[in-house]
């Protein structure tokens, strides 16, 4: 593992639940590592597997997709579709040699600021342990 390796994490957060949850983490001043870059989407169902591939191609070490808890999607079904898409993609990427631990799908509600912070810290720590993606 190279020294000074800081994992680059890209997160796709849905506007109604997880992005709001991340905001709550902010207003409550929870601390988490600064590696993550958050991209806002209307729904976790908007996240295209192609985006994930481009993230990894562009040097991301880990990708997070976060949406509402199943049953609570603001658009009713978006997270169910996301769940299917990424269940398949994660396994496929792992098969191609991209560790499945690098693609995380988490359900975070608009009030779960603490959970969001803990989850990002956990993910970043795990990615630090795994090392940079291109070197694997």
Partner 1 sequence: MARIGVFLCHCGSNIAGAVNILEVAEAAKRLPHVVHVEDNKFTCSDPGQASIQKAITEHNLNRVVIGACSPRMHESTFRRTVAGVGLNPYLLEIANIREHCSWVHPGQVEEATAKAIELVRKAVARVAWQEPLTPKQVGITRRALVIGGGIAGIQASLDIADAGYEVVLVEREPSIGGHMAQLDKTFPTLDCSACILTPKMTMVGQHANIKLMSYSEVEDVSGYIGNFQVKIKNKSRYIDVNKCTGCGECARVCPVELNSEFDENMGKRKATYIPFPQAIPNKYTIDKRGYPPCRVACPAGVNAQGYIALISQGKFKEALEVLRRTMPFAGVCGRVCTHPCEQECERGKVDQPVAIRTLKRFMADYELKAGREKAAPVERTKEGKVAIVGSGPAGLACAYDLVRQGYLVTVFDSAPEAGGLLRYGIPEYRLPKEVLSNEISYIQELGAEIKTNTPVKNLTEIFNGGYKAIFLGTGAGMSQKMGIPGENTPGVLHSLDFLRQVNFGVKVNLGSKAAIIGGGNAAVDAARIARRLGVSEITVVYRRSRAEMPAIPSEIEEMEHEGIKIHFLAAPVKVLSKDNRVKGIQCIRMELGEPDASGRRRPMPVKGSEFTLDVDNVIIAVGQGVDKAMLAEDLAYTDWGTLSVDPVTLQTNIDGVFAGGDVVSGPADVIAAVAAGKEAAISMDRYLRGIDMQEGRPETVKRVTEVSKDVVRPIARHSMPTLELEKRKGFDEVELGFDEKTAIAEAQRCLNCAVCSECRECEKVCEAQAIDHEMQDKISEEDVGAIVVATGATPLDLTQFSIYGGGVYPDVVSSLQLERMMNAAGPTGGEVVRPSNGAHPKEVVFISCVGSRDPRTGSGYCSKVCCMYMAKEAIMIKEHYPEAHSYIIYTDARGPGGKIFEDFLIRAEKAGTTYMRGQIDSVARQDGRLSVSGQDFLTNEAFNIPADLVVLATGLMPNRDVAKLFQTIHISYDAKNYLLQAHPKLRPVETAVDGIYIGGCAVAPTDVPESVAQGSAAAEYVLKLFSQEAIEAEPMTSVVDITKCAGCLLCRQVCPFQAIEAETLRDGRTVASINESVCKGCGICVVACRPGAIKLRGFSDQQVLAEVMAL
Partner 2 sequence: MDMELIQQIRDKARNLLEEGTVEGIIGYERASDGVTARPFFAYEPPAAERLIFDETCTHNLVKYLLDKKGKKMAVVVKPCDSRAINLLLNEGQIERDKVFIIGVGCPGIVETSWNYKSETLQKRCRSCQLSSPLVYDFLAGGEFERQAEEETYSDIAEAEAESLANRREFWQEQFGRCIRCYACRQVCPGCYCPVCFAEQLEPLWVGIRIAPEENELWQTMRSFHLAGRCVGCNECERVCPVDIPLSLLNRKLEKDVKELFAFQAGLDPEEPPPFATFKKEEKLEFGE
The residue range among 5-13, 18-26, 31-39, 103-111 that interacts with partner 2, by the rule CB under 8 A, is 103-111
Query: Smallest distance from the beta carbon of 106 to partner 2, in angstroms?
Result: 6
Q: Does 26 bind partner 2 (CB under 8 A)?
A: no
Nearest to 132 by CA among 106, 93, 99, 92: 99
Q: Does 6 bind partner 2 (CB under 8 A)?
A: no
Query: Smallest distance from the beta carbon of 122 to partner 1, in angstroms?
Result: 15
Q: Does 114 bind partner 2 (CB under 8 A)?
A: no
Is the CB of 23 or the CB of 69 nearer to partner 2? 69
Given a contact cutoff of 8 angstroms between Cβ atoms, the answer to whether 64 and 124 are in contact is no
Q: Does 89 bind partner 2 (CB under 8 A)?
A: yes
Write out the residues near partner 2 by the rule CB under 8 A.
49-50, 53-54, 57, 70-71, 77, 80-81, 83-89, 91-99, 105-107, 136
């Amino acid at each position: 593992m190279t020294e000074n390796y800081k994992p680059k994490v890209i997160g796709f957060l849905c506007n109604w639940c997880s992005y709001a949850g991340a905001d709550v983490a902010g207003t409550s001043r929870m601390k988490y590592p600064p590696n993550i870059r958050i991209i806002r989407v209307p729904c976790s169902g908007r996240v295209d597997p192609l985006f994930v591939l481009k993230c990894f191609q562009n040097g991301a070490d880990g990708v997070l997709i976060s949406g509402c808890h199943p049953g609570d999607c603001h658009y009713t079904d978006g997270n169910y579709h996301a769940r299917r898409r990424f269940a398949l993609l994660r396994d496929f990427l792992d098969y191609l040699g991209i560790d499945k631990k690098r693609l995380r799908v988490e359900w975070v509600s608009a009030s779960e600021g603490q959970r969001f912070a803990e989850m990002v810290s956990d993910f970043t720590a795990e990615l630090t342990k795994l090392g940079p993606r291109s070197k694997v």
